[in-house]
Amino acid sequence: MTTSETKYETHEHDVLVIGAGGAGLRAAIEASAMGLSVGLVCKSLLGKAHTVMAEGGIAAALGNVEPRDNWKVHFRDTMKGGRYLNQWRMAQLHAMEAPDRVNELEQWGALFDRTNDGRILQRNFGGHKYPRLAHVGDRTGLEMIRTLQQHGIHTGMKVYMECTVTRLLGAGGRVGGAFGYWRENGRFVVFYAKAIVLATGGVGRCFKINSNSWECTGDGQSLAYLAGAELMDMEFMQFHPTGMVWPPSVRGTLITEGVRGEGGTLRNKDGKRFMFEYIPALYANETADKEEEADKWLKLSVQGKSEKGVRRTPDLLPRDIVARAIHSEVKAGRGSPHGGVFLDIATRRTADDIKRKLPAMYHQFKELGDVDITKDPMEVGPTAHYVMGGIRVDPETQESGVKGLYAAGECAAGMHGSNRLGGNSLSDLAVFGRIAGKYAGEHAKGATALKIEDDEIEAAAREALEPFNRERGENPFAVHEDLMNQMQKYVGIMRNADDLAQGLKEIGRLQETARNLRVEGNRHFNAGWHET
């Protein structure tokens, strides 16, 4: 029985996609193309999903710059970068299908940078043997979202913006709906669907220093877990080596790996190119161990060329290795004034090149840090960036352990092992977004609607309202801040048993505190309630 407080509106679809980043949009396009009724829900505005922030590019073995590239090399690089802990079949499907997905984006209107002979240009990135990242300057995510959105809205999908889902609904190991509320007025909404795709992105906002947007609070992972799905590899958090370290207000903001892909090099406070000291045995064969060879490679790279036998610069080793190296340099007292190291692009590229190839980086430093990167080096340090772990899915279909519940993109797990290579997320979104949409669609075609009991909806509504009913309680913003600090302190880039044990205690304490959150005011535009 609903009261006026717990009243809700309802919508019904064959497939409900939760999340409108690259993965969600691609899934929704696929399911719509099957002639199904598709709902797409997102907690921000359409076009504002975190994917829009992606900078450096989308990885696919198109072989446009280096004809020796092919899906097998991409597969090998991805497995090696993930320390062979990847779900191999996902890595294989990804490498095989990524070129088709990039070409499809182009057919749908994406304007990638071009080679001199008019093909899609590809740039170098860490851990990729050959130049492999199709890109649009350093604003690739914006172009991807623009393209998918423009294509998607013409397929007839219904978009629900600024609507947060707080619970999945279902029974007997099946999912059949989702409960949420409109952020604007706080009113409740229930979606009934035969299949649901979660595409809610990452968890970076649980760390103090992070590169993520406000949306990345692990909603999908927790929705799936509470609905009975399994999570895997949650300990695999990627710390990107190059976040801004100064000024404090923008600490963590990303500096794309594209800067090093375009010839940028790392130095410590003594001017030393320290990455030569950190080449692991696994990468020794393919990494230059002397400056002369690395410089030759960098020179070729700047010209968009590569040459057989010339090994890559260690500045472009996979992210986990570079991030740990920077951390070690700073710990050893060889860091920059604000606790990072230096990244220099001005030595190898002209001011015009930098402004053309890395326009967002140029403006970011000029406006936020008062640094002209065409003249001076940037100060950079690790920032929490991407979660490799997430919802366990079937590699062929992206279905989770709960019948009818699919996941794709950063909230799903397996593809990247213990460390993702740059550019492999945007291609992951396109490849597995499509697969999730296809199989969710097929499931919906053959399924009957699940009956959702009123009690379940009522319980979800009561749970959402509880923080208003407490006379005393904790401030949700303070709890989030506390969580970020504890994660940064105990579960950061270098971990040990003592810190993890202490971290676990602190998180346990916060788990208790979080049961007692309190918000004031009413349900209209209530930021404290959203945070809760």
Q: Which two tokens stand for residue 294?
A: 């690395």
Residue where the block lists tokens 């407490």: 470
> How far, CA to CA in Å, does 56 sit from each of 115, 296, 334?
16, 23, 28
Residue of 260, 312, 319, 349 marked catalytic: 260
> Is residue 211 within the footprint of ligand FAD (CB under 6 A)?
yes
> Is residue 24 within the footprint of ligand FAD (CB under 6 A)?
yes
Reply yes or no on whether 363 is catalytic.
no
Q: Is 382 helix (H, G, I), strand (E, B) or coil?
A: strand
Cβ neighbour number for residue 195 with a 10 Å cutoff: 31
> Is residue 51 within the footprint of ligand FAD (CB under 6 A)?
yes
Shortest Å distance, C-beta 100 to ligand FAD = 17
Residue where the block lists tokens 């969710």: 440
CB closer to ligand FAD, 20 vs 294: 20
Shortest Å distance, C-beta 268 to ligand FAD = 25
CB closer to ligand FAD, 279 vs 411: 411
Can you give the C-alpha Rg of the chain in angstroms?
Answer: 23
> Is residue 423 within the footprint of ligand FAD (CB under 6 A)?
yes
Who contacts 356 (Cβ-Cβ below 8 Å, separation ≥6)? 137
> Is residue 30 within the footprint of ligand FAD (CB under 6 A)?
no
Judged by CB under 6 A, the residue of 15, 27, 36, 43 near ligand FAD is 43
Shortest Å distance, C-beta 478 to ligand FAD = 21
> Is residue 62 within the footprint of ligand FAD (CB under 6 A)?
no
CB closer to ligand FAD, 216 vs 288: 216
Q: What is the DSSP string of 315-381?
A: GGS-HHHHHHHHHHHHHTT---TTSSEEEE-TTTS-HHHHHHH-HHHHHHIIIII---TTTSPEEEE
Provide the edge-to-edge strand list for the sheet that holds 237-244.
237-244, 378-387, 341-344, 265-267
Judged by CB under 6 A, the residue of 49, 93, 193, 237 near ligand FAD is 49
> Is residue 19 within the footprint of ligand FAD (CB under 6 A)?
yes
- What residue number has its CB nearest to ligand FAD? 21
Among the listed residues 51, 123, 136, 126, the one whose alpha carbon sits nearest the alpha carbon of residue 360: 136
φ, ψ for residue 178 (rounded to 5)? Answer: -145, 145
Residue of 26, 240, 416, 420 marked catalytic: 240
> Is residue 251 within the footprint of ligand FAD (CB under 6 A)?
no
Shortest Å distance, C-beta 8 to ligand FAD = 15
Name the pairing type of β-strands 405-407 and 188-198.
parallel
Shortest Å distance, C-beta 285 to ligand FAD = 26
Judged by CB under 6 A, the residue of 15, 17, 36, 54 near ligand FAD is 54
Name the pairing type of β-strands 58-59 and 237-244.
unpaired
Q: Which stretches of the chain bind ligand FAD, using CB under 6 A?
A: 18-24, 41-44, 49-51, 53-58, 140-141, 164-165, 199-202, 211-212, 215-216, 219, 254, 385-386, 409-411, 422-426, 429
Catalytic machinery residues: 240, 260
